Structure 1
Amino acid sequence: MRIVFIGPPGAGKGTQAQKIVERYMIAHLSTGDMLRAARDAKTPLGLKADEFMSRGELVPDDIIIDLIRERLQSPDCRRGYLLDGFPRTIAQAEALDAMLASQNTPLDVVLELQVPEDELFRRLAGRGRADDKPEVIRQRLVAYRTQTEPLLDYYRRKNLLRSVDGVGTVDEIFERIRAILDEFAGA
């Protein structure tokens, strides 16, 4: 099963992604985790990405696409994967489509986790990460609205988009997700 997971910062994608990959035994490809690891390891890619991340800006497409292209070749992706944080833009979605088409491995579903903005801000402000300062949070939410939300229409037109209410307990939200994914898992 090949899944794209979309949702604004603070929607709970990381928490739900862990539950999804455990249940369906697929690889979790979190661009945020990959970028933070590269930054912390001070790799050239990580240092370049950190220039953007520290300002609350999205990392440029070419950096992200190279990171994903390499990662999809890993053996743990053969059973399927959950893309978390990619694609973020139409250009990235088109690059992903081209990459997957060349391998004859199209996406199965795109999950959108929906959470109201006031709830997102409350959740993000409570995390205490260095990139969760109020001004950076605002910038990240603006970047999401302007650059990522157009993906919803893109995937809706391809009949891949399924939306999930992201408010409730972790288990309640996961049950909503599971109800959708079980269709694709043949369960």
Structure 2
Amino acid sequence: MTRRSIRRVVLVGPPGSGKTTQARAVSDKLGAPHVCIGELFRSNIARGTPLGMASRSYLDRGELVPDEWTTEIVRQRLAEPDAAGGFLVDGFPRTAHQARSLTEALNDAGTPVDLVVETLLERDEAALRLAGRRSCGSCGRIWHVRFNPPAVYGICDDCAGALEQRSDDAAAAIQHRLDLYDRDTAPLLELYRRQGVLATIDASGAVEDVTERMLSVLGV
């Protein structure tokens, strides 16, 4: 594919494989907005919307939010004007039902997915990344206590906001999330492989190296 033909991209990979970090790094180069399902839910929770409040208990336990709610929040986001020319989605779809819903919606609009990128990472490394991840409560930037620490422990370099560990990054929730990925999401890869839209990158190593691999498969 050429860069011009790749406009609608989906990132699939286990929790901790860096999907959100990589999406933020390449969305401007792709010329398409980054649509993160996790951020969409957290935004709804912060604003106290009915969808956010109903979803909170699932997210706190590291469980998947029901397909209908998740699909609806993504549909709403992709219908916004800035996504009309393309998008970079991470964290969705996570189940076969979500994948079918996304495919149907995009095909009906005449805008099918151009590329699905799998961010491949071993389970033990994914768990290590998740356990040390900290998010800024003010600007949302993600740090890591070992791999990408801020200059001052617990304080975001960008905005001086307090860094927090998400409830679903607690030890018990991490293993549950990885189990759910193996059970519900990993099987989607074969579906996209058969459709001829799947590319896989090695998500281990330095963030900058992974970004180069990502840009390569996107043709940017």
After TM superposition, the score normalised by the length of structure 1 is 0.95
Q: What's the counterpart of residue 169 of structure 1?
A: 206
CA distance in 2, matches of 1:102, 1:141: 32
Does residue 22 in structure 1 map to residue 28 in structure 2?
A: yes
- Written as runs of structure 1 = structure 2, the 5 A alignment for 1:92-171 is 92-127=98-133, 128-171=165-208
Structure 2 counterpart of 1:70, one-letter code: Q
SS at match of 2:167: coil
Question: Are the counterparts in 1 of residues 27 and 34 from structure 2 also a CA contact under 8 Å?
Answer: yes
CA distance in 2, matches of 1:102, 1:45: 25
Question: Are the counterparts in 1 of residues 61 and 167 from structure 2 also a CA contact under 8 Å?
Answer: no
Q: Kindly report the root-mean-square deviation, in angstroms, between the aligned alpha carbons of the 2 structures.
A: 1.0
CA distance in 1, matches of 2:57, 2:132: 24
Q: What's the counterpart of residue 33 of structure 1?
A: 39
CA distance in 2, matches of 1:15, 1:136: 21
More helix by share: 1
Q: What's the counterpart of residue 72 of structure 1?
A: 78
Question: Are the counterparts in 1 of residues 35 and 87 from structure 2 also a CA contact under 8 Å?
Answer: yes
Structure 1 counterpart of 2:211, one-letter code: F
Question: Are the counterparts in 1 of residues 8 and 88 from structure 2 also a CA contact under 8 Å?
Answer: yes
Q: Between the two proteins, what is the percent identity of the paired residues?
A: 41
CA distance in 1, matches of 2:205, 2:111: 33
Question: Are the counterparts in 1 of residues 67 and 98 from structure 2 also a CA contact under 8 Å?
Answer: yes
Q: How far has the Cα of 1:130 moved from its partner?
A: 2.4
Q: Which runs of 5+ in 2 are unaligned?
A: 1-6, 134-164
CA distance in 2, matches of 1:84, 1:110: 10
Moved over 3 A (4+): none
Structure 1 counterpart of 2:100, one-letter code: E
CA distance in 2, matches of 1:40, 1:181: 33
Q: What's the counterpart of residue 2 of structure 1?
A: 8
Q: Which runs of 5+ in 1 are unaligned?
A: none
Structure 1 counterpart of 2:17, one-letter code: A
CA distance in 1, matches of 2:107, 2:64: 25
What is the number of equivalent residue pairs in this alignment?
A: 183
Offset from partner CA, 1:149-169 (integer Å, 9 cap, x none): 011011011011100000111
CA distance in 1, matches of 2:210, 2:57: 34
Q: How far has the Cα of 1:138 moved from its partner?
A: 0.6
CA distance in 2, matches of 1:55, 1:172: 32
CA distance in 2, matches of 1:14, 1:101: 25
Structure 1 counterpart of 2:205, one-letter code: G
CA distance in 2, matches of 1:99, 1:131: 29
After TM superposition, the score normalised by the length of structure 2 is 0.81
CA distance in 2, matches of 1:169, 1:19: 13
Q: Rg: which structure is higher?
A: 2
Does residue 46 in structure 1 map to residue 83 in structure 2?
A: no
Q: How far has the Cα of 1:129 moved from its partner?
A: 2.4
CA distance in 2, matches of 1:169, 1:23: 19
